[in-house]
C-alpha cells in the first residue's frame, strides 16, 4: 500500500507554488497525497524564513509535526523551504526529529528525499538556490484563483532583505512556459491568475536586459477563458509607462497595483537602498491614477528600521495622508542574519517599533474606509470564492482586492456556483470589507466602467 504524504505550507504564495509542484512530483512517484498531517506517513514542512515571526512559526510547526512521530503513524519528517536554505546546519544539529532537508533550489528532488528518509537515511539536498520553473506543470487547483511564479530571486539588494540569500538572483521564465501553464489552469476552471515574483516588474531583465512584463501580459491577453490577471510585487523603480498603458488597455489585467514602498523618508529609503524618494513616488502615484483612474494601489511599509526617528514617522504619516493609498500592510523591522542592515547603528527598541506600526495602521484605517466608500452604489464584478454558512451568504472579492491579504465582499442573493465572476451592487463599505447584493440584471460586459 503506498505511503500517504502531507505537505504543510507556511509563508507566502510563492511557497504555495513550490508546494503545488512538489505535490505533482510526489503523486507521479506513486505516493498518495493527504491534506491531513495526522493521517500521513510522511510530512513535508515547506518553511518560511523571511522574518522572525515566520521563522518562529516554522520551527513551531516542525516541532508539532515531530510530536506526530511519537504518538501517531508518521514515519518521516522532511523540511524544505527558505528556513532550510539559511539554517541547514542548525536544523540538523538541533532538531534530530528531522529526517531530511531540501533547499529552495532542490525541492524537485522531493520524491527521492522521501524514499531515502523512509529507508532510514537522512538525506540533505541544499545547493545554490538557482532552480528554474520552465518544465513543470501544476494545473491542480480547487480554487478559482491560481498563483503563477514568473521569476525567482531578486537583484535589488535592499539592505534589510534576505531574499537573495534564500532565493538567489533574478531568474525569469520564458514567456512560452508561463503562457502554457496559464492555459492549463484556465482549462481546469481557474478564472483569476495572480502573477508573482520577488520583483515582478523586473521580469525578463536577466534574459537580455529588457523588461518583458508588458510582452507577457499581451501574450496572456490572447488566452480564451482567462478573466482576471493580477500583478503582485511591482518594484516602483521599474514601473514603466509601457506597462501602465498595457494594464490600462487590457481586458484581463485588473486595476490593482501592489507597490512595496517600505517608507517615505529619503534618509530611510537611502539606508534601505531603495531608489525612490517620496517626491518620485508621489509623481508615480499621480501618473498611475491619471492612466487608470479607478486603480487600487496597495503597499507594504516597514516601521522601526535602524535609525528611524519620530521625524521619519511623521513624514510617513503626512505622506499617507497626502497620497491616500487604498491598501497598506504594515510590518516591523527585524534583523535578518547576513544582511547589511544588521550592522547599522541606532536600532529601534521592539516596543517602539510596535507602537509606531500600530500608529500607522490606525492612521491608514479611515483612509482605506474612504477609498472603499467610493464603490458604494456601484455594480462591480466579484469572484465568488466560498459559502459562509453562519452568515448565510457567499463571500467573494472585487478586482480591487487580492486574495488572502485584502478585503472581501459578503454577497447576498447569490445561489449559483463557486468560482463564478458575477455582478454585485455594493451596498456598504467598511475599513476593509464590503457588503453587496447579487445583481443578475447587470451585464458583466457593461462593467468595464468599474475599471
Residue labelled with grid coordinates 488572502: 404
Residues constituting the chain: 451
3-state percent helix, strand, coil for the chain, nearest multiple of 5: 40, 20, 40
Name residue 81's beta-bridge partners: 47
Pairing between β-strand 434-438 and β-strand 409-412 as defined by DSSP bridges: parallel
The annotation status of 194 as a binding-site residue, yes or no, is: no
Structural contact between residues 4 and 39, judged by C-beta atoms closer than 8 angstroms: yes
The Cβ of residue 325 has, within 10 Å, a number of other Cβ atoms equal to 20
Question: According to DSSP H, which parts of 141-277 are helical?
Answer: 163-167, 175-187, 205-208, 213-220, 241-249, 266-272
Q: What is the distance between the alpha carbons of residues 298 and 188, in angstroms, rounded to a whole number? A: 29
Q: What is the distance between the alpha carbons of residues 187 and 383, in angstroms, rounded to a whole number? A: 17
Structural contact between residues 369 and 328, judged by C-beta atoms closer than 8 angstroms: no
190 torsion bin: left (phi>0), alpha (psi -120 to 50), beta (else): beta
Find, among 216, 196, 184, 183, the residue nearest to 149 by Cα.
196
Spatial neighbors of 114 by CB under 8 A, at least 6 apart, are 3, 5, 26, 29, 31, 42, 44, 76, 78, 100
Strand ordering across the sheet containing 76-81: 32-33, 4-9, 42-47, 76-81, 100-102, 124-125
Rg (the chain; Cα; Å): 22
The annotation status of 161 as a binding-site residue, yes or no, is: yes
Structural contact between residues 49 and 85, judged by C-beta atoms closer than 8 angstroms: yes
Q: What is the distance between the alpha carbons of residues 169 and 451, in angstroms, rounded to a whole number? A: 35
Phi/psi of residue 306, nearest 5 degrees: -50, 130
- Dihedral, CA atoms, 423, 325, 302, 434, nearest 10 degrees? -30
**3-state SS, residue 380:** strand
Spatial neighbors of 89 by CB under 8 A, at least 6 apart, are none
**3-state SS, residue 45:** strand
Q: Residues annotated as binding site for [4Fe-4S] cluster?
A: 12, 48, 82, 154, 158, 161
Q: Residues annotated as binding site?
A: 12, 48, 82, 154, 158, 161
Amino acid at each position: 500500500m503506498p505511503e500517504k504524504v502531507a505537505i504543510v505550507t507556511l509563508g507566502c504564495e510563492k511557497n504555495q507554488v513550490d508546494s503545488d509542484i512538489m505535490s505533482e512530483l510526489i503523486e507521479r512517484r506513486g505516493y498518495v497525497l493527504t491534506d491531513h498531517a495526522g493521517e500521513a506517513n510522511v510530512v513535508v514542512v515547506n518553511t518560511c524564513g523571511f522574518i522572525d515571526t515566520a521563522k518562529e512559526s516554522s520551527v513551531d510547526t516542525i516541532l508539532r509535526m515531530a510530536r506526530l512521530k511519537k504518538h501517531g503513524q508518521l514515519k518521516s519528517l522532511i523540511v524544505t523551504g527558505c528556513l532550510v536554505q539559511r539554517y541547514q546546519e542548525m536544523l540538523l544539529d538541533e532538531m534530530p526529529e528531522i529526517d531530511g532537508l531540501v533547499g529552495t533550489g532542490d525541492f524537485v528532488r522531493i520524491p527521492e528525499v522521501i524514499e531515502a528518509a523512509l529507508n532510514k537515511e537522512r538525506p540533505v539536498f541544499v545547493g545554490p538556490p538557482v532552480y528554474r520553473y520552465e518544465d513543470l506543470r501544476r494545473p491542480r487547483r480547487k480554487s478559482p484563483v491560481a498563483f503563477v511564479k514568473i521569476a525567482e530571486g531578486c537583484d535589488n539588494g535592499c539592505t534589510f532583505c534576505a531574499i537573495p540569500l534564500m532565493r538567489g538572483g533574478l531568474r525569469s521564465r520564458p514567456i512560452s512556459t508561463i503562457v502554457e501553464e496559464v492555459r492549463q489552469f484556465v482549462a481546469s476552471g481557474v478564472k483569476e491568475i495572480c502573477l508573482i515574483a520577488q520583483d515582478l516588474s523586473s521580469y525578463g531583465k536577466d534574459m537580455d536586459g529588457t523588461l518583458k512584463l508588458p510582452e507577457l501580459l499581451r501574450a496572456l491577453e490572447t488566452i480564451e477563458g482567462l478573466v482576471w490577471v493580477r500583478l503582485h510585487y511591482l518594484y516602483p523603480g521599474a514601473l514603466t509607462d509601457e506597462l501602465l498603458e498595457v494594464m490600462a488597455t487590457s481586458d484581463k489585467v485588473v486595476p490593482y497595483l501592489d507597490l512595496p514602498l517600505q517608507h517615505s523618508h529619503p534618509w530611510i529609503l537611502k539606508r534601505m537602498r531603495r531608489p525612490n524618494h517620496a517626491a518620485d513616488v508621489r509623481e508615480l502615484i499621480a501618473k498611475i491614477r491619471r492612466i487608470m483612474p479607478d486603480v487600487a494601489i496597495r503597499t507594504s511599509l516597514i516601521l522601526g528600521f535602524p535609525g528611524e526617528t519620530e521625524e521619519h514617522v511623521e513624514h510617513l504619516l503626512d505622506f499617507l495622508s497626502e497620497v491616500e493609498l487604498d491598501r497598506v500592510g504594515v510590518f516591523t523591522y527585524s534583523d535578518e542574519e547576513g544582511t547589511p542592515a544588521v550592522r547599522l547603528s541606532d536600532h529601534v527598541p521592539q516596543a517602539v517599533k510596535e507602537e509606531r506600526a500600530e500608529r500607522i495602521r490606525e492612521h491608514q484605517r479611515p483612509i482605506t474606509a474612504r477609498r472603499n466608500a467610493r464603490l458604494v452604489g456601484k455594480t462591480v464584478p466579484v469572484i465568488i470564492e466560498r459559502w459562509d454558512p453562519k452568515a448565510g451568504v457567499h463571500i467573494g472579492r472585487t478586482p480591487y482586492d487580492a486574495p488572502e491579504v485584502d478585503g472581501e465582499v459578503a454577497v447576498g442573493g447569490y445561489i449559483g456556483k463557486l468560482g463564478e465572476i458575477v455582478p454585485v451592487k455594493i451596498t456598504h463599505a467598511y475599513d476593509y470589507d464590503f457588503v453587496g447584493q447579487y445583481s443578475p440584471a447587470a451585464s458583466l460586459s457593461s462593467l468595464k466602467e468599474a475599471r
